[in-house]
Amino acid sequence: MDSLNTEQPPSEANATCFRHPRRETYVRCTRCDRSICPDCMREAPVGFRCPECIRSENRTVRQSRTVFGGRALGRPVATYVLIGLNVLVYLAELVWPAIISRFDSLGTGLVDESGRYFVDDGGSYAGYQLVGIAHGEWYRLITSAFLHTEPTQGFFGITHILFNLYWIWVLGRILEERLGVLRFLAVYLLSALGGSVLFFLVDPHSAAIGASGAVYGLAACYYVVSRRLRYEPLDRNRMLILLTVWLVISAGFTAWQGHLGGLLVGAAAAAGMAYAPQRRRGLAQAAVAVALAVLLLALVVLKALNLDPAA
């Protein structure tokens, strides 16, 4: 008598998911032919694929790029994040007003333990300590760009943040689509840094807050990018009129140095992004961004070394 073959046919022996051996299935990946259960199925143009094959294919798919070489995304994620950060910091100011004096763009000054600035009324310096950018608090160059005037400061208080958020929303969506996330963020942060640096160079004994420097940098970037592409989705003249009117209205409340610094640095950063050569464009754009950051920080160092804290 012939011996019975107790082994299952290969097709039945492999009829369990390769990732979940206890799950029986008769569906196979159309690429690698491994059995996959419903939880592992990924719909494909023909049949289903397993998760490993999907990941392998995604690595080989070329990512779509913006006109200036950035990674194209369907939504302006960076713009949303910047708006959200500004709103969250503003809410933090309402709860803890001392956050303003702790993170504004003060170049050098004396404060007490409660964060109040020293007023030279003939009193003693006892109990006060030197603070500011010139004394190692470099973070103020950026953190000040996320602070805004408190609502208790009258009509201007609330319009300060509303105006900046409006322009971040209007300009940010367009520029992020053209530049990509990283290049857009580079222009924004460099513009904010440029505004803080110019304010520090001109008036290091005072403090300023607000995203206006970054906003004016975005406006300059929009102008440069639009000229490069010869396409303007916004009415440029209307935009310039609104920004100029705001500059005049806010002259008595905000720092013109921040506006001008952001405008100049934003234009320089945008030129580096828009007019970079096609060959090794990403490297050239990164070099421009790094060079601008190094230049701005070098100016801060030089000013700090020659600054008299008692002036």
pLDDT more than 90, % of the chain = 35
- Tell me the mean pLDDT in the region 128-137: 85
> Between β-strands 109-111 and 48-49, what pairing exists: parallel, antiparallel or unpaired?
unpaired
User: What distance in Å separates the CA atoms of residue 155 and residue 165, rounded to the nearest whole number?
Assistant: 16
Q: 20 catalytic, yes or no?
A: no
**Dihedral of CA 239/83/272/191: which sign?**
positive
What is the pLDDT confidence band of residue 288, given thresholds at 50, 70 and 90? very high
Q: CB 21: neighbour CB atoms within 10 A?
A: 10
Of 144, 212, 226, 250, catalytic: 212
More confident residue, 251 or 15: 15
- Tell me the mean pLDDT in the region 234-261: 71
User: What distance in Å separates the CA atoms of residue 27 and residue 8, rounded to the nearest whole number?
Assistant: 18
Longest dimension (CA), the chain: 117
Would you state the pLDDT for residue 251? Answer: 56
Asked whether the predicted pLDDT for residue 12 surpasses 50, the reply is no
Would you state the pLDDT for residue 51? Answer: 87
Residue type, 298: A
- Cα–Cα distances in angstroms (integers) from residue 288 to residues 51, 67, 166, 266, 297, in the given order: 40, 18, 28, 12, 14
Q: Which CATH architecture has domain 77-305?
A: Up-down Bundle (1.20)
Asked whether the predicted pLDDT for residue 25 surpasses 90, the reply is no
Q: What ranges do the domains of the chain cover? A: 10-60, 77-305
Asked whether the predicted pLDDT for residue 8 surpasses 70, the reply is no
Would you state the pLDDT for residue 42? Answer: 82
- The closest of 228, 23, 223, 205 to 117, measured between CA atoms, is 205
What is the pLDDT confidence band of residue 121, given thresholds at 50, 70 and 90? very low
User: What distance in Å separates the CA atoms of residue 73 and residue 66, rounded to the nearest whole number?
Assistant: 9
Structure confidence by residue, pLDDT tens digits, 165-213: 999 999 999 899 888 899 999 999 999 999 999 999 998 988 889 898 9
Q: 212 catalytic, yes or no?
A: yes
SS3 track for 210-257: CCHHHHHHHHHHHHHHHHHHCCCCCCHHHHHHHHHHHHHHHHHCCCHH
Structure confidence by residue, pLDDT tens digits, 147-159: 988 877 655 668 8
Q: Give the DSSP H or E segment for 78.
A: helix 77-95
Would you state the pLDDT for residue 1? Answer: 42
Would you state the pLDDT for residue 195? Answer: 94
